[in-house]
Amino acid sequence: MKILVINSGSSSVKYQLIDMENENVLAKGVVQRIGIKNSFLEHEKVGNGEIRIDREIPDHGTGIRMVIDILQDKEYGVISNIDEIDAVGHRVLHGGEKFTESILIDDQVEQAIEDYCELGPLHNPHNLTGIRVC
Label residues 30-68 b or e (16+ Cβ within 10 Å = b). bbbebeeeebbbebbbeeeeeeebeeebeebebbbebbb
pLDDT in tens, 14-60: 999 999 999 999 999 999 999 999 999 999 999 888 999 999 999 99
Q: For position 102, what pLDDT does the model report?
A: 83
8-state DSSP, 85: -
| Total domains present in the chain | 1
The CATH number assigned to the domain holding 106 equals 3.30.420.40
DSSP 8-state code for residue 35: T
Residue 103 DSSP symbol: -
- The DSSP letter of residue 130 is H
| Structural domain boundaries, residue 78 | 1-134
* pTM (2 d.p.): 0.84
At residue 108, the 3 state secondary structure works out as helix
Q: Provide the pLDDT for residue 28.
A: 98
Please tell me the distance from the alpha carbon of residue 45 to that of residue 128, in angstroms, as a whole number.
Answer: 27
